[in-house]
Amino acid sequence: MNKSAAIISVIIALSFAISAMAYGILPDRIASHWNAAGEADGYMPKFWGLLPIPLMLMVFGLLFAAIPRIDPLRANIEKFIGYYEGFIMIFFIFMLAVQVHIILWNSGTRISPNLTFPLGMGALFYYIGILCSKAKRNWFIGIRTPWTLSSDRVWDRTHQLAGKLYKIAGIISLFGAFFGVYAFLFILVPVIAVSIYTVVYSYVEYKRENKGHPSRRS
């Protein structure tokens, strides 16, 4: 992960640098939360408003780097490590964009989150679909239910389906940018529906597999 680790380190450094440069030009209290209408409805001191995302990126960077090393099935993660690293970079770019949005909003450039968030989340969901379609059985990445973790076949079938559905959820999320106050529904409803459906699907596939192998029920 040397190349991707270097890119991630640059993104983390940028998040701190951008926040430090913006600190002097922002008001003492900055908007940190927006409602469904895209209106700021939560404020906090600028120090605490600018710090969470850079700190989160540091923590996530360490966590994401550790996962391939501590997973008992790390040999399987190696089979799709390139897609995993791609997800990490897209996630970090998305979080950096959120930080930039906070700074722009509080410096007077009021770009509605109902425009930017559906686009960012749509791209993230779409890539999650790609990652799911490539993921092999492991303990940290993917649809981890008792049934997918018990069977390579159930894992593969569930993740092939999840790959298609998350891509669709990503495309639906993009359309939220055109629907203002309802934008959050285009993000939340599809991803919740996909998550629930794939969990149920994994159970059904596991039961179907066991019907053909009576000895597994003992």
Q: For residue range 84-127, list pLDDT tens digits in order.
A: 999 999 999 999 999 999 999 999 999 999 999 999 999 999 99
What was the pLDDT predicted at 218?
A: 38
- Long-range CB pairs of 2-6 (<8 Å, 24+ gap) are 4/85, 4/88, 4/89, 5/65
Beta strands in 16-86 (DSSP E): 29-34, 40-45
Number of helices (H), then strands (E), belonging to the chain: the values are 8, 2
Compute how many other C-beta atoms are within 10 angstroms of the C-beta atom of residue 32. Answer: 19
**Share above pLDDT 70 across residues of the chain, in percent, rounded to a whole number:** 96
CA proximity to 13, closest of 71, 56, 74, 54: 54
Tokens at residue 150, please? 């018990």
What was the pLDDT predicted at 40?
A: 92
Question: What is the tens place of the pLDDT at every residue in 8-27?
Answer: 999 999 999 999 999 999 99
Contact 32, 98 (CB under 8 A): no
Q: For residue 191, give the H/E element and its range.
A: helix 183-211
Domain boundaries, the chain: 1-107, 112-218
Contact 152, 105 (CB under 8 A): no
Q: How many CA atoms are closer than 13 Å to the CA of 32, on its beta-carbon side? A: 16
What was the pLDDT predicted at 213?
A: 61
Tokens at residue 154, please? 């159930």
List of the chain residues with pLDDT < 70: 1, 212-218
